[in-house]
Structure 1
């Protein structure tokens, strides 16, 4: 197959030296700039960039790619990057998730669920930016899955030989914590025990009943498609007194005659008021909740820690240890970054964490990288997978083999291409033709 190497350890993986990288991302931003610099540092051409805004405006993928410089008839290697941190894109995805665009939702996990407070396309497009507000997350995710399905279909129609860095169906599964937990568990990857099937967790009472019935008194409750600690509650109840504590960044403004406003304050606080906790848990259950046993984490100086492990093309690379001030350890919540050597974790525990992260990617054989959150049990060192982020390679100020994450990923792709490329093949692709 042209542009692909029989010697590659990944069958069908395009050769990095002769295959254009088509990047679907925000045209400007730290991620796109990082990928561009990484490729140039390795002597590779700049990526061909198609923006989410173009696709959401209705521009066909192949037309946008050729306008950006992809030679006609050349099958690219297609990488999608994170669609977040851009309100225009967020709003357009909510609009795409509206009832008017119902097209079967083939990539949407648990697609039989109805989104609460569904917005029409017109209402979605009239939304105004409110930076900390959780804005129709289930409808956003429905729209994102519809866009993934469209990208997959248009790519395979335009370039039947094209490959994806992350298979769009895998992105949808990784993004949905319920589906990802189910997928990893079936593959034998170690994940925290599920409290209950998400379909049964219909509200606050159902969550408490499941906890008391299974004697699981400490759980993590997660918005199924949240990121950056958005929509996470570390929740515990006293089985004797019924007293409860919810540690979270979430907050709410509740109204009598219209839907409440829910937001992510980016400040961790602990709630003991049952009515406030009921409101927040009800919101998660309405949009989609994932509930799992709270694993006691390893700690450093009494502070809980976990790891973000980057895996690409079958190898574990950059590791960032996050030491938290609370059970929620995301770095933007005042958590401290430390090196693995300074974490207090033994070499055996760190190796086990890397091996579990590698097992995650073996469970997604059609995708080539992810940032994987791994926690280690305080007493046994047993690793558990807490989250899988297909776009989790934005890791600042950390090197592996002397390379930043993007450069390391590009080098891994190059090395995974196997034998030397055939010069006749290079010439035919540069000429814009394909045999």
Structure 2
């Protein structure tokens, strides 16, 4: 049987590309061709032999690529998500049009996952448990719609953000407000930082929201999450070929649990020991992955309620598999990239008619 030929659209030298390459080579396959996002976005040559299986990887945090996506400026800035998204989707569709290539991730599904409003709507339409939500175009509209619904606490999310960039855990009690976010002002520009901080002056909070609002805001009712060891937690569950294969517990002393923002990996066994809850987590992640059947891998963020029974989906991530040194749930020792290569080989064999 002829082995599959693989290629990846990514940023040369990026850690994600390297981890996928290592997994491919470890399975005895030829090193994958790397197609640079720079060439995709600038109209450069984007070609690969017919029949190639193409993995689409994150544009990463490369400053040059960021400038191509949303224009020049500080690459850590939060604003500009709408421009980034438009250029990103155009790039995805250019990749999808390469003759003879079979993409391992459906580009239209990736586009949905990078629009929190559309992703939430797709999950809700499929009957997945998601927090109720609304859209807002300004700080005034945010406060007005919260008041109409009687919501005192919400998560304000940029429609096209990722990695919790610009996400605000917001609460109000009369004239008192509090916003918890990793966004901070540097030389007059709202940027991502690696430290979660609180704002309690309404003028500061309004400035945060108004800076983000032009790119679109997705606002979800706050879902009270369970605690583990005195820290709030949720789970990132990676599904490969539709099946949950990896999971990590993310814990934090703040409402934002992302590991790169001070969150820490928690005790997965403590969650797995609660059989009924664990089954709901896996079933929910699998059902969320089923909403994106054309995607080889997705990362599903599953929240566990304070009652330790209810669960809800916070996000579905197209590039949610960067979880180094994390073994698979079956105990086979495969990381998320090795798991995907195994799934690719399995699909290839079945396509060739092997049992």
2:206 to 249, 271, 278: 278
1:134 corresponds in structure 2 to 78
1:41 is aligned to 2:17: no
1:4 corresponds in structure 2 to none
1:170 is aligned to 2:98: no
* Larger of the two Rg values belongs to structure: 1
Asked if the contact 2:3/2:29 (under 8 Å) is kept, the reply is: no
Asked if the contact 2:302/2:312 (under 8 Å) is kept, the reply is: yes
1:411 is aligned to 2:342: yes
State the alpha-carbon separation in 1 of the partners of residues 233 and 211 from structure 2: 28
State the alpha-carbon separation in 2 of the partners of residues 141 and 421 from structure 1: 37
Asked if the contact 1:323/1:338 (under 8 Å) is kept, the reply is: yes
1:338-376 per-residue CA deviation (whole Å, 9 max, x = no partner) reads 241045861221221111111112111222211111111
State the alpha-carbon separation in 2 of the partners of residues 371 and 337 from structure 1: 16
* TM-score, normalised with respect to structure 2: 0.93
Where in structure 1 are there 5+ consecutive unaligned residues?
A: 1-14, 95-123, 255-259, 424-435
* TM-score, normalised with respect to structure 1: 0.76
1:249 to 182, 186, 195: 182
Cα shift at 1:149: 2.0
2:88 to 144, 156, 166: 144
State the alpha-carbon separation in 2 of the partners of residues 247 and 343 from structure 1: 26
State the alpha-carbon separation in 1 of the partners of residues 38 and 105 from structure 2: 20
SS at match of 2:183: strand
2:159 to 224, 235, 243: 224
Aligned residue pair count: 351
1:104 corresponds in structure 2 to none
Cα RMSD for the two superposed structures: 2.0
State the alpha-carbon separation in 1 of the partners of residues 121 and 350 from structure 2: 37
State the alpha-carbon separation in 2 of the partners of residues 420 and 173 from structure 1: 27
Cα shift at 1:233: 0.5
| Greater strand proportion | 2
Asked if the contact 1:300/1:344 (under 8 Å) is kept, the reply is: no
1:300 to 211, 221, 228: 228
State the alpha-carbon separation in 2 of the partners of residues 243 and 169 from structure 1: 42
- The equivalences for 1:369-384 within 5 A come to 369-384=297-312
1:313 is aligned to 2:262: no
2:129 corresponds in structure 1 to 190
State the alpha-carbon separation in 2 of the partners of residues 422 and 364 from structure 1: 25
2:6 corresponds in structure 1 to 21
Where in structure 2 are there 5+ consecutive unaligned residues?
A: none
- The equivalences for 1:324-403 within 5 A come to 324-343=252-271, 346-400=274-328, 401-403=332-334
2:143 corresponds in structure 1 to 208
User: Which is bigger in relative contact order (C-alpha 8 A, separation at least 6)?
Assistant: 1
State the alpha-carbon separation in 2 of the partners of residues 232 and 135 from structure 1: 12
Asked if the contact 1:307/1:320 (under 8 Å) is kept, the reply is: yes
SS at match of 2:256: coil
SS at match of 2:253: coil
Using a 3 Å threshold, how does the CA distance of structure 1 residues 422 and 300 change in structure 2: closer, same or farther?
A: closer
1:243-273 per-residue CA deviation (whole Å, 9 max, x = no partner) reads 111111112369xxxxx52111221111110
Using a 3 Å threshold, how does the CA distance of structure 1 residues 218 and 46 change in structure 2: closer, same or farther?
A: same
Using a 3 Å threshold, how does the CA distance of structure 1 residues 275 and 413 change in structure 2: closer, same or farther?
A: same
Cα shift at 1:147: 1.2
1:144-185 per-residue CA deviation (whole Å, 9 max, x = no partner) reads 111112222x22xx22xx432111111111011111001111
SS at match of 1:45: coil
Using a 3 Å threshold, how does the CA distance of structure 1 residues 332 and 77 change in structure 2: closer, same or farther?
A: same
